[in-house]
Structure 1
Amino acid sequence: MRNSPLYAFALSILVATPALAHTGAGSVSGFASGFGHPIGGLDHLLAMIAGGILASQQGGKSLWLLPVSFVAMMVVGGALGIAGVAVPFVELGIVGSVIVLGAVIALGKHMPTGAAMALVGVLAIFHGHAHGTEMPVDASGFEYGLGFALATAMLHAVGLGLGLAAQKAAEKFAPVAVRIGGGVIAAAGLALFAA
């Protein structure tokens, strides 16, 4: 099937459960669990895909600098979580990241690359901290961290691909579609906040 990756992605969104992303429920160890953590929650999925969409919207060096900034700062947040360093309002920061990234996409304003990197980097710390604090004591920190970093990079690539595909599909329609997508992401974040 030509569209099987698209169907697999759509299915992963439909079966993602936000509750499993932050309870430590289920078997959590090693690479597979680290990889599954960002994919297992709608909040992580939306924020990371939004990071890729924002990178595509910003263009230029942002195409790779924003995803790299997000992953790097998420690893920093993960290390803080593993080390037991408290970060205030982690869950609020995660939901807030969905709202903020969605809103920035919806507004469609070009940001300086440094400001966009700082924005995604700060928001990524919350996601990384959640990943790090939920790593079990007996898990390999390296394997678990590698798993969540690769899953995050993959989700950014999905968002980047979606944003670039939308721009190629119709130059006139793409900016509106991307902004609408940002609005939908922000609305989903508000729904997560209200839940």
Structure 2
Amino acid sequence: MRIHRPALAALIAAALPLAASAHVGVDGGLHHGFVTGFLHPLTGADHLAAMVAVGLWSALTARRAWPDLLWAPLGFAGMLLAGALAGLAGLQLPGVEPMIAASLLVLGLLVFTQRRLPALAAAALVGAFAVFHGIAHGHELAGESGAALMLAGMLAATVLLHAIGIAVGWTLRHTHRWLPRVAGAAVAVFGVALLGGLA
């Protein structure tokens, strides 16, 4: 059986930590427009892994391509934007970092088990986690000029990462099903490691 190289490459990218982080204060607020906003989720291993995992999970558990593939990604992207706007407005929520780490654990386990949830429940679950990812981004962008362009860039990158996860998951859903399980386990372990580092 042949393994699709692009699919394998995307899975590896989703599973490996990238050493960079995308949390409050880490980059000193060095954001500049759409391109920087677009690159922001791509340089934070936690955000990248979560967004690809959402797409993977959606594709692996969808009963049909439309509209099942879109519920969780749309829930995540919409609530990410809401959280980022709240962060820009100065809203503070407790436990942002632990919730981001917990999101990796939960999303990784969902990919690993390929557990199917009703569409609205899936959107609500990932959306709740996305709020905390968005808050972290919003706090970084607070006070920056061009925040709207940066948010647009971040949202575009989020949609792209979801699409990569969906494409990989859809390709592998009937063949090589162990590959997404490995990726899910890696994301879950990454979440546990982050939670352990916060203890």
Q: Same fold (TM over 0.5)?
A: yes
Q: Distance in 2 between matches of 1:20 and 1:45?
A: 10
Alignment correspondent of 1:107: 113
AA in 1 matched with 2:36: S
Identical pairs, percent: 33
AA in 2 matched with 1:41: G
Q: Distance in 1 between matches of 2:19 and 2:166?
A: 23
2:48 maps to 1:45: yes
Q: Deviations over 1:6-59 (max 9, x none)?
A: 769967986833335443425212212211221111100110010001110221
**Mind listing any 5+ residue stretches in structure 2 that lack a counterpart?**
none
Q: By how many angstroms is 1:191 displaced?
A: 1.6
Q: Distance in 2 between matches of 1:17 and 1:41?
A: 8
Q: Distance in 2 between matches of 1:11 and 1:51?
A: 14
AA in 2 matched with 1:45: L
Alignment correspondent of 2:163: 157
Quick check: 1:99–1:190 contact (8 Å CA) kept in 2? yes
Q: Distance in 2 between matches of 1:12 and 1:115?
A: 24
TM-score by length of 2: 0.84
Q: By how many angstroms is 1:116 displaced?
A: 0.5
Change (3 A) 1:29 1:5: farther
**Mind listing any 5+ residue stretches in structure 1 that lack a counterpart?**
none
AA in 2 matched with 1:36: L
Q: Which has the higher helix share?
A: 1
Q: Deviations over 1:144-165 (max 9, x none)?
A: 1101100111111111111112
AA in 2 matched with 1:105: V
Which 10-residue stretch deviates more, 98-107 or 8-17?
8-17
